[in-house]
Amino acid sequence: MDFALFVQYALSGITVGSVYAIVAIGFNIIYCTTGIINFAQGEFLIVGAMTAISLAEVAPLPVAILGAVLITTTLGAVVELVFIRQVRNASVLRLIIITIGLSIVMREVMLHIWDEQVRSLPYFTGTEVSTVTILGAHISPQVLWVLGVSAVIVAALTLFFRYTTTGRAMRACADDRMAACLCGVNDRWMVTLSFMLSAGIGALAGCVVSPITQTQYDMGAPLAIKGFTVAILGGMGNSMAAVAAGLFLGLLEAFVVSVLPSSYKEVAAIVVLLLILVFRPSGLFARRDVSALRAA
Amino acid sequence: MQTRLAAILGVLILACVVPLSGCKKSPEAPAPEAAPIKVGAIFSVTGPASFLGAPEAKTVQMFAEKLNRSGGVLGRKIELLVRDSGGSPEKAISLAKQLIDEEKVLAILGPSTSGESLQIKSICQEGQTILLSCAAAEEIVVPLASYVFKTPQKDSQAAQWIFNTMKDLGITKIGVITSNTGFGKGGKTHLEQMAPANGVEILVNEVYEKEATDLTGVLTKVKGAGVQAVVNWSIEPAQGIVAKNMKQIQLDVPLFQSHGYGNIKYVQGSGEAANGTIFPCGRLLVADSLPANHPQKALLTEYKRGYESRYNEDASTFGGHAYDAILILTEAIKKAGSADPKAVRDAIENLKGVVGTAGVFNFSAQDHNGLGLDAFEMLTVKDQKFAIYQK
């Protein structure tokens, strides 16, 4: 394999991996505050992208994306208030199953609003055919957008969770809800807030990846499955690790394709996931002692 | 508990037997000649293949309404019973049984997909009900079943057109990428079998997931093999992604797609990147640029205008396949002079020179598709519009 081809495989891996990573970030927020895996995360992505596509017909692109993020954030709040909050004696498992039901309902509603056609947002810079050349290989500028937006989201989340009172309160709820309540944290609103944040970030992710993946009403589930895999791979609850794990999985898949028939790339991904679950159950990048403490 | 189960079973058995025995009486009584002719249709109006089934259902409804307004066929109206299979072969089976056993239809139009058509092929044959499939797979009419016909062009003819064009361009080394669907698999088989005889070598032959959202990895492999052209055989959304990804990794060789590319929306999906794509297709998409003396010109422009003004969306070749199915049926009824299944079936085998949207149909006892190689035209995309490919 010559060098340019090697770089091309690497860039292809980064393209796929950046999409996995940005999806995985959304999973982490709700998990952080509630312990719930939100299986409707993929649908938040598609709702965001579809809303932006509709708005882009009447408004400039940045306005359309901003509008879509706001609308989807509101949707996240409504979902939490109507479905999650009303469940009495909610076990985490029950709530997770509710999110699966929600994903099905949202998918069907989207089918009625936006029909079955494949759509996409325009490329943020350049067009379908523009490329950036790196070391003799080529990559779409949209991939740089995805990476950039992921980086900004991760940085903003880290600052938010570490340095703001609200962010700290959300983390406190995740650690020990009772103790947080006793300290005066309104735990219910923290859960609502986490759904809003995760829906908003999902919508932004959906918009940024839309030019690459295109958008169709039933595309949320396959995207979410990969995002979920990546979130586990990196260690649930850690956004920075999710990005690293996403890129790792993307690169792995790309280089598997270079030596094996491409139908085997999913096998490689699953084998790696199984190995990680067996040997490092708390994730690739989690510190063992920390997770052992949490488990205790 | 057991008695209850037995009671439920008993009721179920009764429920199955009663309506059947009730229905059996009706064909014995001679139907008055003015009674409508019942024609069934099974299309995947919803579900993943809705881009096929929805225009098909709309087309047959439009056709039947127009026909009935002008007095129907043999003075009898056509009563159309359109059913939605959602693209599921299991549902298609039960719908076919219902249409044959309960509704006693003369013929079934559709189904939309190859998988469904193959599943109900034997049911229609046993029930002596004419099946006019709108799906592509060759296996629908090979081996031959006397009551089963199909209207779209064959996969192997599409592959032959692609190879012919490659010969003109002097292309001998290609990469083939297909999706892991029934359609993709069929195309892969034909391309593999026909390549040696056409002097073409397949250097890379890859299958990808139908949900794939990025194909730069597979295409990098194709690029590394140094091919002169890429053939992609799949349906949406991969068709659009291939075109974009090739441009993005600067794989500057011609891209060939299958006859499943015949919808302008796919072109719009990949924007500028779609320009230059070459694919075999029926002439519906380029009806306006056909010469005035072309035998299909009048029919194609009329269907296209009618469909587009009524439903306010672009006509696609898929709706055209359903148009051909109902057209062939009515022509055969006229020719047979009756609506007897056996007589109409015989009449279809003797239909010659029927101008449809896919081409000119010449059926025979051996050929239940009736289309020749000339039913295809090589098309290309120019400025994000379909145009006839010029050598």
**ipTM for the assembly:** 0.80
Contact A5 B220 (CB under 8 A): yes
**CA torsion through residues B308, B314, B317, B322, sign:** negative
Separation CA B303–CA B337 (nearest Å)? 26
Asked whether the domain spanning B155-281 has the same topology as the one spanning B36-153+306-375, the reply is yes
* pLDDT tens string A71-120: 999 999 999 999 888 887 778 888 889 999 999 999 989 988 987 778 88
Choose the mutation target among A214, A223, A253 for the interface with B, i.e. most B CBs under 10 Å.
A214
* Sequence ranges of the domains in chain B: 36-153+306-375, 155-281
* pLDDT tens string B287-343: 888 898 999 999 999 999 999 999 998 888 899 999 999 999 999 999 999 999 999
Residue of B206, B208, B272 with shortest CB distance to A129: B272
pLDDT band of residue B255 (cuts 50, 70, 90) is very high
Residue of B219, B237, B243 with shortest CB distance to A118: B237
β strands within chain A, DSSP E: 132-134, 137-139
Residue A11 in contact with partner chain B when CB distance is under 8 A: yes
Residue of B207, B216, B236 with shortest CB distance to A12: B216
B21 phi and psi angles, rounded to 5 deg: -70, -30
pLDDT at residue A289 tops 80: no
Beta-strand relationship, B385-388 and B377-382: antiparallel
Choose the mutation target among B52, B181, B219, B221 for the interface with A, i.e. most A CBs under 10 Å.
B221
Q: Which residues of B touch A (CB under 8 A)?
A: 46, 48, 50-51, 180, 206-209, 211, 213-214, 216-221, 223-224, 236-237, 240-241, 243-244, 247-250, 265, 269-273
Which of these ranges, B12-16, B238-242, B329-333, has the smallest mean pLDDT?
B12-16
Tally Cβ neighbours within 10 Å of residue A5. 16
Taking CA–CA distances from A138, the nearest residue in chain B reads: B249
pLDDT at residue B7 tops 90: no
Q: Which helix (H) or strand (E) holds B109?
A: strand B107-109
* pLDDT tens string A136-176: 888 889 989 998 998 899 899 889 988 999 988 888 887 78
Task: For domain B155-281, give the fold.
Answer: Rossmann fold (3.40.50)
Residue A138 in contact with partner chain B when CB distance is under 8 A: yes
pLDDT at residue A190 tops 90: no
| CATH architecture classification, B36-153+306-375 | 3-Layer(aba) Sandwich (3.40)
Predicted pLDDT of residue A240: 85
CA distance B26 to chain A (A): 41
Residue of A122, A129, A216 with shortest CB distance to B273: A129
Average pLDDT of the segment spanning A180-201? 89
Contact B220 A216 (CB under 8 A): no
Predicted pLDDT of residue B67: 94
> Which residue is listed with tokens 């120019």?
B382
Q: Please tell me what DSSP assigns to residue B195.
A: T
Separation CA A96–CA A47 (nearest Å)? 20
pLDDT band of residue B93 (cuts 50, 70, 90) is very high
Average pLDDT of the segment spanning A194-212? 92
Mean pLDDT computed over every residue of chain B? 87
Predicted pLDDT of residue A42: 92
Residue A15 in contact with partner chain B when CB distance is under 8 A: yes
Predicted pLDDT of residue A250: 92
CA distance A283 to chain B (A): 26
Predicted pLDDT of residue B211: 78
Q: With contacts defined as CB-CB under 8 Å, which chain A residues touch B232?
A: none
**∠ CA(A204), CA(A205), CA(A209), 5° rounding?**
120
| Structural domains of chain A sorted by starting position, each given as residue range(s) with its CATH number in brackets | 3-295 (1.10.3470)
Separation CA B270–CA B267 (nearest Å)? 6
Separation CA A231–CA A229 (nearest Å)? 6
Mean pLDDT computed over every residue of chain A? 86
Residue of A131, A213, A253 with shortest CB distance to B248: A131
Residue of A13, A127, A138 with shortest CB distance to B271: A127
B178 phi and psi angles, rounded to 5 deg: -135, 155
Contact B214 A120 (CB under 8 A): no
SS3 state at B279: strand
Q: What is chain B's alpha carbon radius of gyration, rounded to the nearest angstrom?
A: 23
Choose the mutation target among B51, B112, B248 for the interface with A, i.e. most A CBs under 10 Å.
B248
Return the higher-pLDDT residue of B34 and B278: B278
The predicted model scores a pTM of 0.79
Which of these ranges, A36-40, A55-59, B191-195, has the smallest mean pLDDT?
A36-40
Q: With contacts defined as CB-CB under 8 Å, which chain B residues touch A252?
A: none
Contact B220 A140 (CB under 8 A): no
